[in-house]
Amino acid sequence: MIDTPTLVDQYCHGVLRTELGLGTFETLLGRSAGPPAAGTTFFDTQTGFAVRRWCPPLLGLEPHCPPALYLARRRELGVLESGRRLLRATGISTYLVETGPPGDLTGPVEIAAAGDARAHEIVRLELLAEQVADTSGTVDALLANLAEAVHGAALSAVAFTSVAAVRHGLALAPAPPGPGEVRGAAGRWLAGRRVGGALTDPVLLRHLLWIAVSSGRPLQLHVGDEDPMTLGEFAAATAGLGTDLVLLHGYPYHRQAAHLTSVFPHVYADLGPALARTGARAAAVLAETLELAPFGKLLFSSGARGLPELHVVGARVFREALTRVLADWVRDGAWSGRDAQRVAHMIASGNARRVYRLG
Amino acid sequence: MIDTPTLVDQYCHGVLRTELGLGTFETLLGRSAGPPAAGTTFFDTQTGFAVRRWCPPLLGLEPHCPPALYLARRRELGVLESGRRLLRATGISTYLVETGPPGDLTGPVEIAAAGDARAHEIVRLELLAEQVADTSGTVDALLANLAEAVHGAALSAVAFTSVAAVRHGLALAPAPPGPGEVRGAAGRWLAGRRVGGALTDPVLLRHLLWIAVSSGRPLQLHVGDEDPMTLGEFAAATAGLGTDLVLLHGYPYHRQAAHLTSVFPHVYADLGPALARTGARAAAVLAETLELAPFGKLLFSSGARGLPELHVVGARVFREALTRVLADWVRDGAWSGRDAQRVAHMIASGNARRVYRLG
Amino acid sequence: MIDTPTLVDQYCHGVLRTELGLGTFETLLGRSAGPPAAGTTFFDTQTGFAVRRWCPPLLGLEPHCPPALYLARRRELGVLESGRRLLRATGISTYLVETGPPGDLTGPVEIAAAGDARAHEIVRLELLAEQVADTSGTVDALLANLAEAVHGAALSAVAFTSVAAVRHGLALAPAPPGPGEVRGAAGRWLAGRRVGGALTDPVLLRHLLWIAVSSGRPLQLHVGDEDPMTLGEFAAATAGLGTDLVLLHGYPYHRQAAHLTSVFPHVYADLGPALARTGARAAAVLAETLELAPFGKLLFSSGARGLPELHVVGARVFREALTRVLADWVRDGAWSGRDAQRVAHMIASGNARRVYRLG
pLDDT (mean) for B207-218 = 96
* Residue B161's pLDDT band (cuts 50, 70, 90): very high
User: Which of A101-105, A355-359, B2-6 ranks highest by mean pLDDT?
Assistant: A355-359
Count the Cβ atoms, other than its own, within 10 Å of residue B304. Answer: 29
Give the pLDDT confidence score for residue C104 in this predicted structure.
83
Per the CB < 8 A criterion, the answer to whether B267 and B256 are in contact is: no
Secondary structure letter of residue B159 according to DSSP: E
Give the pLDDT confidence score for residue B196 in this predicted structure.
82
- Higher-confidence residue of C9 and A224: namely C9
Closest Cα of chain C to B179: distance in Å? 33
Closest Cα of chain C to A353: distance in Å? 11
Q: How confident is the model over A338-355, as pLDDT tens digits?
A: 999 999 999 999 999 999
Q: What is the mean pLDDT of chain B?
A: 94
| Nearest residue to C10 (alpha-carbon basis) of C355, C343, C301, C354 | C301
* Residue B214's pLDDT band (cuts 50, 70, 90): very high
Closest Cα of chain C to A186: distance in Å? 36
B222 half-sphere exposure, CB direction, 13 A CA radius: 18
Cβ separation A290–C284 shorter than 8 A? no
Cβ separation B354–A39 shorter than 8 A? yes
| Range with the poorest average pLDDT among A34-38, B145-149, C154-158 | A34-38
**Contact residues, chain A, for B334 at CB < 8 Å:** 49-50, 53, 279-280
Mutation pick from C251, C335, C338, C342 vs chain B, by most beta carbons of B within 10 Å, is C335
**Contact residues, chain B, for A44 at CB < 8 Å:** 294-296, 343, 346
**Nearest C-alpha in B relative to C267:** B37
Give the pLDDT confidence score for residue B195 in this predicted structure.
85
Question: Where are the extended beta strands (E) located within chain B?
Answer: 7-12, 92-98, 118-124, 159-162, 219-222, 245-248, 267-270, 298-299
Q: How many Å apart are CA C17 and CA C106, to the nearest integer?
A: 7
Give the pLDDT confidence score for residue C347 in this predicted structure.
97
| Range with the poorest average pLDDT among A112-121, A185-194, C29-38, C56-65 | C29-38
**Contact residues, chain A, for C46 at CB < 8 Å:** 290-292
Q: Which of A40, A41, A277 sits opposite B292 (nearest CB)?
A: A277
Give the pLDDT confidence score for residue B32 in this predicted structure.
81
pLDDT (mean) for A305-322 = 97
User: Mean pLDDT, consecutive 10-residue segments, chain C of 359 residues?
Assistant: 88 96 95 88 97 98 98 97 98 95 88 98 96 94 97 97 84 87 96 88 94 96 86 92 94 95 96 94 98 97 97 97 97 97 97 96
- The residue type found at B158 is V
Per the CB < 8 A criterion, the answer to whether C217 and C242 are in contact is: no
Give the pLDDT confidence score for residue C165 in this predicted structure.
83
Residue C73: left (phi > 0), alpha (psi -120 to 50), or beta?
alpha
Chains with 3 or more CB pairs closer than 8 angstroms to B?
A, C
Closest Cα of chain A to C280: distance in Å? 6
Q: Longest C-alpha distance within chain A, in Å?
A: 65
pLDDT (mean) for A11-31 = 95
Mutation pick from B223, B225, B254, B313 vs chain C, by most beta carbons of C within 10 Å, is B225
Cβ separation C50–A334 shorter than 8 A? yes
- Higher-confidence residue of B198 and B215: namely B215
Closest Cα of chain B to C81: distance in Å? 40
Closest Cα of chain B to C298: distance in Å? 11
Angle in degrees, 0-180, between the axes of helices A22-29 and A46-54, rounded to the nearest 10: 120
User: Percent of chain B beyond pLDDT 70?
Assistant: 100
Mutation pick from B243, B292, B353, B354 vs chain A, by most beta carbons of A within 10 Å, is B292
- The residue type found at C95 is Y
| Alpha helix ranges (H) inside chain C | 22-29, 46-54, 67-77, 79-88, 108-115, 125-134, 139-156, 179-192, 202-215, 232-238, 254-263, 272-276, 282-292, 308-331, 337-345, 351-355
Q: How confident is the model over A265-297, as pLDDT tens digits?
A: 999 999 988 999 999 999 999 999 999 999 999
Q: How many Å apart are CA B92 and CA B349, to the nearest integer?
A: 9
**Nearest C-alpha in C relative to A335:** C49
pLDDT (mean) for B114-137 = 96
* Residue B318's pLDDT band (cuts 50, 70, 90): very high
Closest Cα of chain A to C289: distance in Å? 14
Cβ separation C64–A292 shorter than 8 A? no
**pLDDT of A210 over the 90 cut:** yes
Chains with 3 or more CB pairs closer than 8 angstroms to A?
B, C
Q: Which of B229, B291, B354 sits opposite A225 (nearest CB)?
A: B229
Give the pLDDT confidence score for residue A158 in this predicted structure.
98
pLDDT (mean) for B288-298 = 97
Cβ separation C334–B45 shorter than 8 A? no
Give the pLDDT confidence score for residue A103 in this predicted structure.
76
Q: How confident is the model over B38-83, as pLDDT tens digits?
A: 999 999 999 999 999 999 999 999 999 999 999 999 999 999 999 9
Q: How many Å apart are CA B188 and CA B182, to the nearest integer?
A: 10
Cβ separation B290–A281 shorter than 8 A? yes
Q: How confident is the model over A155-179, as pLDDT tens digits?
A: 999 999 999 888 877 777 788 999 9
Cβ separation B265–A34 shorter than 8 A? yes
Counting one residue from A and one from B, how many pairs have CB atoms under 8 Å apart?
Answer: 80
Cα–Cα distance list, A123 to A300, B159, B342 (Å): 19, 48, 43
Name every residue whose Cβ is closer than 8 Å to that of residue C46 and which is 6 or more positions away in sequence.
A290, A291, A292, C277, C278, C279, C280, C281
Q: Which of C35, C39, C277 sits opposite A296 (nearest CB)?
A: C39
Provide the pairing of β-strand B92-98 with B118-124: parallel
* Residue A81's pLDDT band (cuts 50, 70, 90): very high
Classified as helix, coil or strand, B166 is: coil
**Ordered DSSP codes for A268-325:** EEE-HHHHHTTGGGHHHHHHHHHHHS-GGGEE------B-HHHHHHHHHHHHHHHHHH
**Contact residues, chain A, for C278 at CB < 8 Å:** 291-292
| Nearest residue to A302 (alpha-carbon basis) of A289, A291, A316 | A316
Classify residue C345 as exposed, middle or buried by CB count within 10 Å of its CB (0-12, 13-18, 19+): middle
Count the Cβ atoms, other than its own, within 10 Å of residue B263. Answer: 18
Provide the pairing of β-strand B298-299 with B267-270: parallel
**Nearest C-alpha in B relative to C330:** B280
Counting one residue from B and one from C, how many pairs have CB atoms under 8 Å apart?
Answer: 82
pLDDT (mean) for A81-85 = 98
Cβ separation A280–B343 shorter than 8 A? no
Residues of B with CB under 8 A from a CB of C: 30-32, 34-42, 44-46, 49-50, 52-53, 63-64, 225, 251-252, 277-281, 284-285
Mutation pick from A255, A262, A297, A347 vs chain C, by most beta carbons of C within 10 Å, is A262
Give the pLDDT confidence score for residue B230 in this predicted structure.
85
Give the pLDDT confidence score for residue C47 in this predicted structure.
97
